[in-house]
Amino acid sequence: MRLHIGNKNYSSWSFRPWIAMKAKGVAFEEVLTPFDDEGGNPKFREFSPTGKVPTLVDGDLTVWESLAILEYLAERFPDAGFWPADRAARAHARAVANEMHGGFSALRSACPMNMRRDIRPIAVSDGVRKDVARIETLWADCLKTYGGPFLFADFSNADAMFAPVVNRLEKYALSDHPAVIAYSEAMKSHPAWIEWRDAALAESWIVPADEA
């Protein structure tokens, strides 16, 4: 099984299936193709029908789109716990994962994931503030309902979808909500997070478009 990813410092969509596979102990070959200066790379077309990362290759099968990859992994490794075991919790986890995949565009475009960045606030729009407020509510609700330390107690695909958001809220100093502090601490202590972050810090590529 091969996972194609972009730069670890910036590629938030790549980070999602990568951290899920690491957290669940799925062995895979990682192929990193760095972005060019504009943030894409024509070489992505060689393995991805959309020209975007991440892309998972499993034998003859190619799966693109981060959430589709996470769903495929859950089917391929049914005992690994990619989604919560309880049906209601699983439906809730899928709802928040889809909310992340399809939403929070103001936050995503104004505050790119950047593992290397110093903590430094920037002026943000009402749209970003609204996205942050919704994330605070969503995380607080999950931690209260399921008891933490991850959104649905154990690490799941929902956490994989929100992992890059932990970096964004920290690096742009966007929230001091207690749920954000508690969840960020759990996420940033996970060995898979640490492995990705350390590799990101060792990269030297700079994508100017992602340096907000």
Ligand X SMILES: N[C@@H](CCC(=O)N[C@@H](CS)C(=O)NCC(=O)O)C(=O)O
Residues at the interface with ligand X (CB under 6 A): 6, 11-14, 39-40, 44, 51-54, 65-67, 101
Element (H, E) at 197: helix 191-201
Of 111 and 143, the one with the shorter C-beta distance to ligand X is: 111
Of 14 and 184, the one with the shorter C-beta distance to ligand X is: 14
The two tokens of residue 103 are 């939403």
Sheet holding 61-64, edge to edge: 29-32, 2-5, 55-58, 61-64
| Number of CB atoms found within 10 A of residue 83's CB | 23
Minimum distance from residue 44 beta carbon to ligand X (Å): 6
Find the residue with minimal CB distance to ligand X: 40
Of 76 and 101, the one with the shorter C-beta distance to ligand X is: 101
Minimum distance from residue 67 beta carbon to ligand X (Å): 6
Minimum distance from residue 162 beta carbon to ligand X (Å): 13
The two tokens of residue 107 are 């936050």
DSSP helix/strand/coil, 39:
coil
Minimum distance from residue 180 beta carbon to ligand X (Å): 22
Round to whole Å and give the CA distance between 151 and 138: 9
Round to whole Å and give the CA distance between 39 and 144: 38
Of 10 and 146, the one with the shorter C-beta distance to ligand X is: 10
